[in-house]
Structure 1
Amino acid sequence: MHDPTPTSVPALADLHALGAAQQPSYPDQAAVDAAVTRLRSFPPLVFAGECDELKEKLAAVSRGEAFLLQGGDCAETFAGVTADNIRNKLRVLLQMAVVLTYAASVPVVKLGRFAGQYAKPRSSDLETRTLPGQGEVTLPAYRGDAVNGYEFTPESRIPDPQRLVEVYHASAATLNLVRAFTTGGYADLRQVHAWNTDFVLSSAVGRRYEAVANEIDRALTFMQAIGADPDEFHRVEMHSSHEALVLEYEHAMTRIDSRTQLPYDVSSHFLWIGERTRQLDGAHVELLSRVRNPIGVKLGPTTTADDAIALAAKLSPDNEPGRLTFITRMGAQKIHDLLPPLVEKVKAAGVQVAWVCDPMHGNTYEASSGYKTRRFDDVITEVQGFFDVHRSLGTWPGGVHMELTGDDVTECVGGGEELAEIDLSERYESVCDPRLNRVQSLELAFLVAEMLRKA
């Protein structure tokens, strides 16, 4: 068997020479070089052994023995690195995981979109706004706090490589708090279930799920009665993930593991390649083909089965279970038509892959008020279609990939709270794409739980 990943990682200049999509246009190369040198001197944010453990868990997902819950912000911000924000995101993920674990009767792999999700691809390099007294003003698009500022001023929108150093520190602070919460008693199963009970009692839509909540309560009471108190009741494993987008950051954080002499991107446990950067001969696919982390690829409506098979051959040449996750984002109206031939041909080719549904990105639209939003019903429709397709083909619907927050924002319409487009302005806080709020996220978890019971 050949070595699946050469120890040599292409130089940064060689990667850029391949044609690197969605990269910042830095005005000062010397400042870029200084930031990259600084990043290379920093300790790892995650350890290679943790990445290997996650890969084993994702191998179970690919075999139909586990389910993946991946969620968090569309785009993290430096201002959002607070104890309250991190705790709220973690809390809603834990709540969702309890419901899904009980329904699926298989382990739920918990993967946060945090501690690195600071860069975003954009459909245009420029943004134009009409400003009072100035008319139309065109500036570079906001590409996430890793690149430039959200404030619509010429100074703010200049790409600044020093922000990559700040990404590292913000990610380190986030991971430190997440690890403290998940090992220090905050994730105790009984406490997390009590949060769900509170949701059921206090929310109009929550009462619809009272039966499931009561079943979980009885199960916990039974475990307590027989004296079962496993360590898993008190602590959980939560891994980090983000889109590997800015090459300078990901390359600087790629290190050779002292145990195996193989390269790992130690900025995160799991990295994914986006729909806009999955070119087979492009820089992002080349870099992630060389690192040993578990990785994902977003597959949108234009993806053919041959594209998916070619990506698998490049990114997972040894067809290693747990190495590769395909994250489909087809849109609620297209999934029943586009997903079956993709899954069928990939399955026939014998590709070892975990299939995960991203029901968010294919369902974004602009409301009449100008806000980007998503309909909760469309999100649910795409997840249901994902389950329907896999059930019909005898494959495992391996997980969901969500943009969500633990806060009571008003960014997606619909759901049990019946948010309407007129409500979007009340608390629209995302700097990029709309997220499900806490109530919508928990409602989704209960609905997915119903699907899992039938899968």
Structure 2
Amino acid sequence: MIAAVGQQPDWGDVALLDHVTSTLQTMPPLVTRAECDRLGQAVARVAQGGGFLLQGGDCAERFCESGATEVRAKLAQLYGLAEVIHSATGGVVVPLGRLAGQYGKPRSAPYERIADGTVVPSYRGDAVNSPATDRRARHPDPTRLLRAHECAERVLRVVRDSWAGRSPLERAYVSHEALLLDYERPLVRGDYAASAHSVWIGDRTRQPDGQHVAFARSVANTIGVKIGPVISPAQAVRLSRLLNPDGADGRLFFIVRLGSTRVRSLLPEMVEEVSRRGRPVVWLCDPMHGNTMRIGAGPKTRLMEAILDEIVAFVRIMRAHRRHPAGLHLEMTPEDVTECTTTPKPFRPPPELPHYRTACDPRLNAAQAAEVVERFVALL
């Protein structure tokens, strides 16, 4: 039996939502089957130890940043970091952007308190509502799903322009969390999700009997699953069997987000059990999500020391179990933001974050993302 679907907005106007989903069903696919297959072939090569996967981009894409200038800057960062890995290892590196669809966000609570003490519905990404801090702007609006399609189409034009002169193994592809099923389901074409080349299931929606897993099982794209600290090795095995029943290389990747304090105690048994009883998966390290915290009463941040430490542990555990440490999943931006920070010194005031611009979670700036990738390749 399929469980109730979680992390979905209360759209309110059912008739309007029906009109939007019917309209999405008639719209052209955002990606093609051939493009998705080429990504699958590239990830299969990574799975066989012949390369790496670098997945990265904004925590929450903004509609207002879907212009060519902004997208080219994000692609330049992604391609540049992929080249760092390639130069150090000689292997193929597949750039996979959090692009052209990362417009929906899961939240731990339906409401949040803003600076003046007012309680408003939580921001769930531009495909649902606005981050503006008034209640009307925070009301879920299904017509935003149509805007998401429009913006994704605009972003993908720039992505495809970047393919000129590149082999299919070196091109940037696009991915996002397949969170909003009222967006994903109408965009299925045949047996492919036509919303992105690859989609992933978040740590909050990866229940084996849930509708997000059922959706992922129904499509032929390369699929990712976020693996957080509450998952058991047996549950990870079950997910690998559900989502990759044929055991195909390149079909499934696990995005490990355990946190630096727990990765060493939790990951070894999980890798061992999936390797022994599960189906083939590509192992990626997400050193961001398990290392989110607040310093004092300030905004959420992520400590660089914890991010780097989780990468070290991930690579060493993979090597110890003779598995391929296949890559990284990073929330990052080419902008000069101050959202992630170093560990504050004892008896010092919390560090200031003067350029804190994210719509949701903290991102690495360009220099920090480069430091993270350089640490990864040094371990390889």
TM range (shorter): over 0.9
| Match of residue 48, structure 2, among 58, 63, 67 | 63
Q: What are the residue-to-residue correspondences of 1:241-280 with 2, within 5 Å? A: 241-256=175-190, 263-280=191-208
Matched, 1:74 2:59: yes
Residues 323 and 235 from structure 1, CA distance in 2 versus in 1: closer, same or farther, beyond 3 angstroms? closer
Matches of 1:308 and 1:74 in 2, distance apart?
Answer: 24
TM superposition shift of 1:94 = 1.2
1:63-212 matches, cutoff 5 A: 63-129=48-114, 131=116, 136-183=117-164
Q: Hey, what does 1:296 align to over in structure 2?
A: 224
Offset of 1:142 from its aligned partner? 0.7
For 2:250, the equivalent position in structure 1 comes to 322
Distance 1:421 1:442, change over 3 A: farther
One-letter code of the match for 1:71?
Answer: G
What residue number does 2:275 align with?
A: 347
Aligned: 1:413 with 2:347: no
Check 1:233–1:264 CA distance in 2 against 1; reply closer, same or farther (3 A cut).
closer
- Partner SS, residue 74 of structure 2: helix
Secondary structure in 1 matching 2:340: coil
Whichever residue aligns with residue 248 of structure 1, its letter is D
Q: Report Cα offsets for 1:366-423 as digits up to 9, x if no partner.
A: 12242111011111110110001011111110110000001111111039xxxx9533
Give the 3 Å change call, closer, same or farther, for CA 234–52 of structure 1 in structure 2. Answer: closer
Give the structure 1 partner of residue 346 of structure 2.
none
Q: TM-score, normalised by structure 2?
A: 0.95
Residues 308 and 372 in structure 2, CA contact (< 8 A), matched pair in contact too: yes
1:451 is aligned with what amino acid? L
Within the candidate set 334, 348, 351, 1:422 is matched to 351
Question: Residue in 1 aligned with 2:301?
Answer: 373
**Conserved 8 A contact 1:95-1:442:** no
What is the deviation of 1:35?
Answer: 0.6
Distance 2:368 2:75 in 1: 15
Q: 1:376 & 1:88 partners in 2: Cα distance?
A: 23
Distance 1:149 1:392 in 2: 46
The match for 1:447 among 361, 368, 375 is 375
Paired residue secondary structure (1:298): strand
1:25-61 CA distance string (max 9 Å, x none): 0110000001111111111110011111111111122
Secondary structure of residue in 2 paired with 1:124: coil
2:31 is the counterpart of 1:41: no
Q: Kindly indicate whether residue 373 of structure 2 is the aligned counterpart of residue 436 of structure 1.
A: no
Bigger Rg, which one = 1
Matched, 1:32 2:17: yes
| Identical amino acids, percent of aligned pairs | 42
* Corresponding position of 1:8: none
Equivalent position amino acid for 1:423 in 2: E
Letter in 2 for 1:254: V
CA distance in 1, matches of 2:46, 2:170: 17
- Distance change (3 Å), C-alpha of 1:137 and 1:343: same
RMSD (Å) for aligned C-alpha atoms: 1.8
Relative contact order (C-alpha < 8 Å, sep 6+): which is higher? 1
Matches of 1:50 and 1:392, distance apart in 2: 35
Residue pair 1:19, 1:283 contacting (<8 A) in 2 also: yes
Q: CA deviation at 1:328?
A: 0.6
Flag as ranges the 4+ runs of structure 1 deviating above 4 A: 231-236
User: Number of paired residues?
Assistant: 375
- Where 1:100 maps in the other structure, the secondary structure is helix
Pairing of 1:203-242 with structure 2 (within 5 A): 231-232=165-166, 236-242=170-176
Q: Which letter maps to 2:252?
A: L
CA contact (8 A) 1:85 1:406 kept: no
Q: CA deviation at 1:234?
A: 12
Opposite residue 46 of structure 1, the aligned amino acid is: V
Matched, 1:51 2:29: no
8 Å contact from structure 2 (residues 56, 331) kept in 1: yes
Letter matched to residue 351 of structure 2: I
- SS of 1:156's equivalent? helix
Residues 269/235 of structure 1: CA separation in 2 closer, same or farther (3 Å cut): closer
The answer for the alignment partner of 1:215 in structure 2 is: none
CA contact (8 A) 1:92 1:442 kept: no
Change over 3 Å in CA distance of 1:158–1:232 after alignment to 2: closer
Q: 5+ residue gaps in structure 2?
A: 344-348
Distance 2:39 2:167 in 1: 20
Structure 2 CA distance for partners of 1:104 and 1:164, relative to 1, 3 Å:
same
Higher normalized helix content (fraction of residues): 1
Unaligned runs of 5+ in 1: 1-13, 184-230, 257-262
Conserved 8 A contact 1:36-1:249: yes
Deviation at 1:84, TM superposition (A): 2.7
